[in-house]
Amino acid sequence: MTPRAALSTTVFGLSALGVAAYLVVTAALVALVVWQSNRNFAAEVLDTLSAEAETIIAMAGDRSSQAINAGLQRLHTRDQHHHPNRLYFLSGPDGRKLAGNLAQPPVGWSGKTTGGLFSYKTNGAPSLRTAAGLPLALDDGGFLVIARDIEDQRKFVNRVRWIALLAIAAIAMGGLSLGFLASRRVLSRVEKLTTATQSIMAGNLSGRLPVQNSGDEFDRLSDSVNAMLERIEQLMGGMKEVSDNIAHDLKTPLNRLRNRAENALRTARTKDELSAGLGQTIEAADEIIKTFNALLLIARLEAGAIEETKAPVALGSLVAGAAELYEPLAEEAGLRMQIGHLPEVTIMANQQLIIQAVINLIDNSIKYGSKHSAVLAAAPDADPPHHAVHPGQITVDLVKHAHSVDIVIADNGPGISEHDRQRVLDRFVRLDKSRSLPGTGLGLSLVSAVARLHGGTLRLEDNAPGLRAVLRLPI
Amino acid sequence: MRVLIIEDDSETANFLIKAMRESGHGAEWAADGITGLDLAREGAFDVLLVDRMLPELDGLSVIQTLRKEGNQTPVLVLSALGEVDDRVKGLKAGGDDYLTKPYAFAELLARVEALSRRATPGEQATRLVVGDLVLDRLSHAVTRAGETITLQPREYRLLEYLMKHAGQVVTRTMLLENVWDYHFDPQTNVIDVHVSRLRSKIDKAFDKPLLHTVRGAGYVVRETES
């Protein structure tokens, strides 16, 4: 991180702008105050002087230089030690100095001058001092100047001005330094984020942006980016799983297809045998297509872009329709389908996906609810077949809650053991017990994906005995 | 029946032409959208098979252009894009039916034949008759040889669809789509069970079966077995 980089951040730019604005306003303010107080002070002094001039004239009795001189002498002896700043200069009609503690009148002043500031030099003093003075033309051609030394006030104002300027400069420096430090801090956070991002881009998908737990804007940003990375990693994991599973679970049926074709070619003697072999080959191809379609659908669902396809769906009718479609099939399989009271609940959903999900659940319950004896035979670790004596029953219910609705499909087949329940929601997971049954192994994961996409859940519960699948959708 | 196949893959096209001819239909082939549009404009086709992705002009544009020009030849859209919304797009553009690749030829043939029948009047007949089986679409009454047959509403709609397409093979997917309005791939023989229930009602008590299973394709309602 170079200092130049710290100077080009937004934070530094903003603080520099703030400092500049502060400088302009404060400098203008100080200048105004100084100028105004100088002006007021000078005006006040001149007012006092003109009042004093009137007093002197009144005391002297007339406006001749002699009378004034006498008056001044009296005034001088009486007041001088009270007014060390009081200055005056009196000249007679001939222009010669008669009295006064000023060595000479202000340069260029005459009786007609209006008065104001001037500089003078006292005996022995090294530098010029400033005074405010008022000239008076006397009747006999004499000339009087009364003045006040205001050098101390001027110095005070100057000091104030300097202090103000120093303060402004200090504040400006402080502001810029703080801006620079803040900028460096921001940059160092950004640097850390960049390093983490680069490591993630380089393939370290489990890497995350650093979070300092201060709850500041960077933490909030990092948190949401991390959540995004989490999801991406999940999706990538899903993709990897899919490709692994495609490799595993599609290769098997592809190989089966190939074997059947090869077998027909090798062993078929008659046209009929050849046709039968080809028929089997086509069946195998159809199975692969089904698996492939289901896989594509799940992948698309997990990409999660169905928002615009949602429309009001009347769930009661939908579930009733699906149950009606499968009722004969259940009966054929020796199961009794009990359809509960299905209240009409309308939700925003993708109708075809919900139908597909409900049908998958019913299809599953028929497939597994009716196969308990076969499954038990294939599964030595299963419970004693006490439920085999019960007639199979499938129940279809719709339960409305305040903010959600449950579609409940239950059977009393062998069920799924607790530790397998989450696993069957994964793609292609078919418990070993069911390897012999037809199906892609994608049914429940598809239902689960549909639920997730609608902000709902799929829960698998123990129906004691059997499986109870609860598809919960938000209303 | 003459079918125009607009499909850019020559192997698929050759397979379709051959299979169509074997089924007794005439077939012609256009390998891109522009040629297909020109051939379709010349008319005299009963059904158009249009692939969605074509060189020069895509399938949906071909259909839209034809429809704008007032050409009402039935169109079966063929596509690898098989999601519900793809299908809706295909039908909105003016397609009459939609079939996702890969498909079984029996499915395609059944749909093409159903479409060609649709182009001829008779769809709106109030009485459907096959042999001695009569379905009255006004009173919803079904009789066979004068005997009343009681059907559930869904069974009635199933029979109505089959009889409307009497003599034509109707596939399971077509039944699922047209009778139940479900657009998905049933994993089990769910349709077969419904058909066999219907069959037990309309055929069981009678000598001559009218509802036949066509192996590897679907079902057909007709008077004779052949």
- Does B105 reach chain A within 8 Å, measured CB to CB? no
pLDDT at A432 over 50: no
When pLDDT is cut at 50, 70 and 90, the band that residue A356 belongs to is confident
pLDDT at A48 over 90: no
Rg (CA), chain B: 19
User: Which of 3.40.50.1970, 3.40.50.970, 3.40.50.150, 3.40.50.2300 would CATH assign to domain B2-119?
Assistant: 3.40.50.2300
CA-nearest of B66, B73, B159 to B120 is B73
Listed in sequence order, the residues at least 6 apart from A43 whose beta carbon sits closer than 8 Å to its beta carbon are: none
Q: What is the pLDDT of residue A154?
A: 83
Q: What is the pLDDT of residue A388?
A: 44
How far, in Å, CA of A275 to CA of A441, rounded?
A: 29
- Does B153 reach chain A within 8 Å, measured CB to CB? no
Question: Roughly how many angstroms between the first and final C-alpha of chain A, as a whole number?
Answer: 53
pLDDT at A382 over 70: no
CATH fold for domain B127-221 = Arc Repressor Mutant, subunit A (1.10.10)
pLDDT in tens, B155-214: 999 999 999 888 888 888 889 888 888 887 776 788 899 999 999 998 888 888 889 988
- Does B184 reach chain A within 8 Å, measured CB to CB? yes
Lookup result for tokens 């001829």: B120
Cβ(A295)–Cβ(B164) under 8 Å? Answer: no
Q: What is the pLDDT of residue B198?
A: 92
Show residues of chain A in contact with B180, CB under 8 Å. Answer: 321, 325
ipTM over 0.95: no
User: Which three-class secondary structure state does DSSP give residue A457?
Assistant: strand
How far, in Å, CA of A180 to CA of B121, rounded?
A: 85
DSSP H helical ranges for B95-166: 105-119, 153-164
Amino acid identity for residue A437 in this structure: L
Show residues of chain B in contact with A326, CB under 8 Å. Answer: 190
Cβ(A97)–Cβ(A91) under 8 Å? Answer: yes
Numbered ranges of CATH 1.10.10.10 in chain B: 127-221
Amino acid identity for residue A290 in this structure: K
Of A286, A356, A440, the CB nearest to B184: A356
How far, in Å, CA of A258 to CA of B38, rounded?
A: 42
pLDDT at A376 over 60: no
One-character DSSP codes across A380-397: TTSPPSGGGGSPEEEEEE
Does B183 sit within 8 Å of A329, measured CB to CB?
no
Does B183 sit within 8 Å of A325, measured CB to CB?
no
pLDDT at A389 over 50: no
pLDDT in tens, B112-131: 988 886 545 456 778 888 88
Domain boundaries, chain A: 11-155, 213-302, 307-474
| CATH 3.40.50 fits domain A11-155 | no
Looking only at the bridges linking them, the beta strands covering A143-149 and A86-91 are: antiparallel
Q: What is the pLDDT of residue A242?
A: 66
pLDDT in tens, B36-60: 888 888 878 889 999 988 888 888 8
Q: What is the pLDDT of residue A246?
A: 67
pTM: 0.60
**Least Cα separation, residue A208 to chain B (angstroms):** 36
The second-level CATH assignment, the architecture, of A307-474 is: 2-Layer Sandwich (3.30)
How far, in Å, CA of A67 to CA of B63, rounded?
A: 124
pLDDT in tens, A113-162: 777 888 888 766 778 888 888 888 888 888 888 888 888 888 888 888 88
Numbered ranges of CATH 3.40.50.2300 in chain B: 2-119
More confident residue, A156 or A307: A156
**Least Cα separation, residue B82 to chain A (angstroms):** 9
Does A352 sit within 8 Å of B154, measured CB to CB?
no
Does B189 sit within 8 Å of A352, measured CB to CB?
no
